[in-house]
A and B are shown apart, each in its own frame.
Chain A
Amino acid sequence: MYVIITYDVNERRVGKICKKLKAHLTWTQNSVFEGEVTKGPFLKCRQEVESIININEDSIYYYIVENPKHIRKEIIGEEKGQFDCFF
């Protein structure tokens, strides 16, 4: 499945969340990560992120697209982070 995660958290935790998500998904914009993952790794990622946040102050949005083919991404301006297999 294809997942887009956006987060709006207290300044103190922004860095932590960002670093954690970097290990799982591709950074696309400030406070936005996305990528194709399977169920297990996604649950692991969620659990790790949710152990950092404070439910009363922060919010995390998960946009889950079951079939990655059903997503069309259009980018205007500069593309910030892309992930392909060649570097």
Chain B
Amino acid sequence: MRRDIYLFSNGRLMRKDNTLYIVSEDGIKRAVPVEQVENVHLFGQIDLNSALFNFSGQKEVMLHFYNYYGFYTGSFYPREHSVSGIVTVKQSDHYLRKEKRLFLAKCFVQSASFHMLRTCRKRGIHGYESVQIITELSKNIRDAKDVQQTMGIEGMIRQHYYRALNELIPEEFTFAERTKRPPRDPFNALISFGNTMMYTSVLSEIYKTQLNPTISYLHEPSQKRFSLCLDLAEIFKPLLVDPLLITLVNKKKITSKHFENHDGMVYLNEMGRKIVIAAFDERLQQTIRHRKLKRNVSYWYLIRLECYKLIKHVIGDTPYIPLKAWW
């Protein structure tokens, strides 16, 4: 069972004795079993050298970097170990052909809105006006003529969804609108941070498959990011991240003291990030019984299954049916 480690303290991460060592500022060395590490998330100020990069490349450990405010900077993405020309070619083909791309884009939005409604239903606010609007809007997805329209509907759904979420969180967290780059209030900061963690998790799962993370369908591939992660994350954000955040604020695990405000730019402090990550990590390891596979699979693995389904779709094996949580 490989897992992620999160470095918050400052210090040095190095290769020694063919494993990873973390040397803290006060000189305490700790060995980390490299065979058990999947991703390393670096939040603090950490020194690294090329020997470490070579080593983590060899061991296929991804390094994800975040800046001082906890925003995603980038990843060290080791040499692709599973490449398949066929998949890349077919994946591009599905992007280039309008109707094929539209089909996939719609799939992502449909699944996303399904999960948004699911979250609202589970929390007992399905009767609210904004939720009703989402239900109406999600029926329109099928009729969208192109990807821009699909994106438009998705945007509207999201607006109403965030309005509905306001009903579920304590008053101190209510927010008027979704603001990002930078988030302007605590709950926006939470959403941004949760989404960041989701993107990197999806990226590390895509990395294990033959998919090319830069070719996307709903988002434009020219977004200077691994945009396929954004596509797939759409499915998982309302399923994993949002319920988690609602629970955290309602159980008062996250309170106003976990935020810092810098000239209207709000972000989580170290303690807050740790709480969110611990909860997120735990959630990803939770398992549910898979209907078709007839065994328990974790949320981590569900992300990977989504990638496999996408591969099967693009190579023309089985048509893609997006995940719709059945539990």
Contact = CB atoms under 8 A, between A and B. Distances in A.
Most B-side CB within 10 Å, residue of A41, A44, A81, A85: A85
Please tell me the size bucket of the interface on B.
Answer: 20 to 34
B32 interface: yes
Contacts of A22: 17, 19, 31, 33
B144 interface: no
A23 B1 contact: no
A19 B33 contact: no
Contacts, number: 55
Contacts of A26: 33
B140 interface: no
Chain B contact surface mostly: mixed
Interface residues of A, number: 20
Nearest to A1: B1
B193 to A, nearest CB: 16
Chain A contact surface mostly: mixed
Contacts of A23: 17-19, 33-35
Interface of B: 1, 3-9, 17-19, 22, 24, 30-36, 274, 277-278, 281
Closest 5 CB pairs of A and B: A23-B19, A19-B17, A22-B31, A24-B35, A22-B19
Interface of A: 19-20, 22-27, 35-38, 41, 44-45, 81, 83, 85-87
